Amino acid sequence: MIQLTTLYHLAEAANWPAIQRDGLHSASTLLDLAGLTGEDRERLEKHQRLTHTELPNGVQLRDQRPLPSAALSTCLIGIAPSEWYALINARVFFWLDPERLNRQRSACNPRPQVVLTVDANKLIAAYAEKITVTPINTGNARRRPARRGAATFVPYAAWVTSAWASEGASLGPPVRPSSHPPVELTIAGSIPDIMQFVVRVQQLAPGQLFTPVVGVEHV
């Protein structure tokens, strides 16, 4: 079984003060905290966000340009695009691969970003029941998108015992080999105590990419 030791979260630098104070929240929780309801909420939560958005309380939500509804319609199994957007927005996401994080960072240019390096073992121990892992980049549906559905989010306990079997059973063969590493780790809702698990913080200026270090220091 693949061992998860380090996780990475890329955040908007504008949101960093709120993260330090209140923790990490899914987009849906951020909409709750900002008091968004009705059509405004529906537009931001269940449809593609075409532009970077600042909420009434100053918190920022990224666009979802790599997730066009038309592309999702070609690869989703068992759910509609609006349901996929809701699934995405209900989770906090972590990368396992710094190269994938840097691709997202490039897409966020020129806005400053913050990278949180997180102790995976401690976070998993605290939030195991709310954790899922995914075998794909769930936030991108361009260029021959992989099939996906609710089963793409594999509960951590199921992944530990049977790797990607549940995904394959729901979305169709072939089943991915157990050697296929997770691309994302997600936690439903919020992580209000995220700073307890952070071992390094790196501020990224416009154009700057993330550089992981060996033996990360505690903050």
Average pLDDT over residues 148-163: 98
Backbone angles phi, psi at 13, to 5 degrees: -60, -30
Question: What pLDDT digit, counting tens, does each position of 83-142 carry?
Answer: 999 999 999 999 999 999 999 999 999 999 999 999 999 999 999 999 999 999 999 999
Is residue 212 assigned to a domain? no
What one-character DSSP code corresponds to residue 175? P
Q: How far apart are CA 108 and CA 10, in angstroms?
A: 10
Can you tell me the mean pLDDT for 63-86? 97
Q: Give CB contacts under 8 A, 24+ apart, made by 163-167.
A: 163/1, 164/135, 167/135
Largest CA distance in the chain: 47
Q: Let me know if residue 209 belongs to a domain.
A: no
Closest CA to 179 of 123, 135, 147: 135
Is 217 within the bounds of a domain? no
Does any domain span residue 79?
yes
56 preceded by cis ω (within 30°)?
no
Structure tokens at 167: 């995904």
Distance between CA 82 and CA 87 in Å, rounded? 9
In this structure, is residue 35 part of a structural domain?
Answer: yes
How crowded is residue 91: how many other Cβ atoms within 10 Å of its Cβ?
Answer: 23
- DSSP string of 64-122, one letter each residue: -TT--HHHHHHHBSSS-HHHHHHHHHTEEEEES-HHHHHHHHHHTTTS-EEEEEEEHHH
Mean pLDDT over residues 183-196, rounded?
98
Task: Tell me, yes or no, whether 118 lies in a domain.
Answer: yes
Task: Provide the domain limits for residue 133.
Answer: 6-204
Is 56 part of a structural domain of the chain?
yes
Return d(Cα 116, Cα 77) in angstroms, integer.
Answer: 33
Q: What is the pLDDT of residues 157-171, one digit of tens each?
A: 999 999 999 999 999
CA-CA-CA-CA torsion sign (57, 63, 69, 74)? negative
Please state whether the predicted TM-score (pTM) of the whole model is above 0.85.
yes
The reported pLDDT for the residue numbered 173 is: 86
Domain count, the chain: 1
For residue 211, is pLDDT > 60? Answer: yes
Is residue 161 in a domain?
yes
